[in-house]
Amino acid sequence: MKTIDDYNFKNKQALIRVDFNVPLDDDLQVTDPERIEAAKPTIIKILEDGGSVVLMSHLGRPKGRESKYSLQHIVKKLSEIIGVKVQFVEDCIGAEVEEAAGELEPGHILLLENLRFYDEETAGDEEFAKKLSKLGDIYVNDAFGTAHRAHASTTVVAKFFEEKCYGYLMAKEIKSLDKVLHSEEKPVTAILGGAKVSSKITVIENILDKIDHLIIGGGMTYTFIKAQGGNIGNSLVEEDKQKLALEILKKAKDKGVEVHLPVDSVIADSFSEQASTQTESVDNIPDGWMGLDIGPQTVENFSRIIKESKMILWNGPLGVFEMDTFAKGTIEIGKAVAAATKNGSFSLVGGGDSVAAVKKFGFKDKVSYVSTGGGAMLEMLEGKSLPGIEAINN
């Protein structure tokens, strides 16, 4: 796996695909600079080698040129974080851009305008990619969050470079996932939450050969419970996925994987913070009530398994953590993962909602690694080949 450590960038210009798709407030100020901070080590390494950097990214989903999606809005924050004044050019291809890139001195940074101002970016247009390729000597992909997209800047552009490699962030993401999925250390535990079995089915099927324990929580619990004859009241269920749930349980058993389902639920009489709540056996939920979090006995059972695990993969919350009333299960599982990590286990958290949960409840620095790419990580877990990774490896 070629990374930027395999190159000396002295007097070289790196064209780096970063993921600066950061949230902006109404005043167009960056509200969460985490993605910019994640790219900093790669940028700094190249500058310290004596190279220059051209950065390209998308921001949001603009329809043509929309000023609110201009990357100009992040220049100030980017300059602060890197500690170098960043130059900005109001386009990403063309004569003006090529001139600005051509005049860039070692130690300097140029940020291009939003790639998605051009439809050719998402279309993976070869001519557009060729124009981008004129802006650097070495292509560096450090945007794991877009690695599953075969876009011009993430994939196609690589074919125009003899020298291409991963940035630190991209390499770290791949290594972390690889560490869990091909671990010699046992037991390996996957915690899968979220609403639907259908969104996790390919993940489950792909990881069954690689894990010892599968913990299932969140809304998809109730499809499994109903499939086994339990009463789930008004809980979320995918009626057409019950047969599939039973097949998953059988496959897991055949492969020697222990599946752990909740035994009790915190239930509510409405989907609301103000709902009446009680704790009930997961397979005996009365009509008119719905399961919105795991119960105390389940927390105890799951925590014990997690603390005994050497490798932990966590994707998806265990309850409706956005509401304080139903956040306890996710918080307690976060504590168990943090405790296992403190005792030497490796823990990887990924997927939008689980990442949001570990940040919200203060576990981000207490787990081994938090993935920056929800969709990309899921596709890797599904065993799919990611175009952004293939483009560097080929």
Ordered strands of the 311-315 beta sheet: 258-260, 213-216, 188-192, 311-315, 346-349, 369-370
Tell me, yes or no, if 35 is annotated catalytic: yes
Active-site position among 35, 116, 210, 328: 35
Residue 11: burial class (beta carbons within 10 Å; 0-12, 13-18, 19+)? exposed
Which long-range contacts (C-beta less than 8 Å, at least 24 apart) are formed by 101-108?
A: 101/13, 101/54, 101/134, 101/135, 101/136, 104/13, 104/52, 104/54, 105/52, 106/10, 106/11, 106/47, 106/50, 106/51, 106/52, 107/47, 107/50, 107/52, 108/52, 108/53, 108/84
Looking at 40, 65, 251, 352, which residue is catalytic?
352
Q: Is-catalytic flag, 334?
A: no
10 is catalytic: no
Which of 316, 373, 292 is closest to 199 using CA atoms? 316
Q: Which of 179, 359, 375, 383 is catalytic?
A: 375
Q: Which residues of 377-393 are buried (b: 16+ CB within 10 A; e: fewer)?
A: bbbbbbeeebbbbebbe
Give dist(CA 25, CA 312) in Å, integer.
35
**Which of 179, 196, 360, 364 is an active site residue?**
196
Question: Is residue 375 annotated as a catalytic residue, yes or no?
Answer: yes
Which residues are catalytically annotated?
Answer: 35, 196, 352, 375
